[in-house]
Structure 1
């Protein structure tokens, strides 16, 4: 099976390409560096020529008011090019609970991306993942200084990017879901608790102060960002403390 992976050189995309190629498929990474630009459509027709599946792992360069326009233009171009090329399956990666955090413009933009995919004519699959372990350091840096780290007590169920990539690869080579598959880590934490675990693992003595106005995830309430019982979520195996030790 030939699979075009747009955004195939990033954190998730590069791992997806490796998994697919190791599985005997022909996965080809595409990105701005290889001349494929979803915002302008440049290089898309060539990238999708002969592809059975297209996996879109590109992301908005910002989390602000510019993000909806990014997903609008990129999905319009991708849907048109995939239909013209006769691609039989389009896959995107989104976020668990994106529709439950309307105060975050970036999450609204991801829901827009999902809806644009659903409205297209190409059979589709949406993989919704929880927050990546790898982004914890960035999340902490937004609201920290040399004396303390401030984090909200938001519930999260993070997972390793390797597990995300595995799930995306598996969906890509299967029949289109014409729906959504949720994937999540094996443990639920409050964000401040996860911050303390992270700091301790790195020998960082700074305290974590609970601040329910701090950072991006302060906009999420209740269990918006965790997998729900009965929704068929796939639970990954990699635990956060084990990942830290590696």
Structure 2
């Protein structure tokens, strides 16, 4: 089995080298870049398994890099930021980050977060559908529905239209698709996408849902596939799949 490859994008060289050393000890291959320049080309060429991305970088900031990466790859991204305001963290999540960590941070915590994000990758997420008698595929979802998930490529197919997803978005959609029509609370969804039981605000789930809705929307005027149920949570609207 090949060691997973991690890209560290961090302008403080000493911090990047310490991260590299800690991750090396855990068996990961690590490459470091010290500015925003060249990141996109490197990711396209090497296709890393995870990216540790600083938000504030010389030449090009982390958020704009993340937004461009989300146009061509679902690679998990752990965003590092010195900004501790909730709005800054939500901005990163809405741009497609899978997790965030605030500076100054513990290098051991970063390693733990890396392991947790990699464990959440789609290939390890299959569950059994709770609907008795339903025909299910490897994602645990009903194979007869016009919305299907592709675990290996971290994407969805909606009426033959391919939708590229982040790992978090994939897990959210998988949870809803396994129980179409049923209401899932924010707590249930948080437990699904954050199995390490970290404390996350409800707004984090709402942020991911907004991004997911936008990706699943089309120009056909169909209602949103994901319906908000006031004071309850979210559900996949089966009528919108017709």
Q: TM-score, normalised by structure 2?
A: 0.40
Q: TM-score, normalised by structure 1?
A: 0.40
More contact order relative to length (CA 8 Å, sep ≥ 6): 1
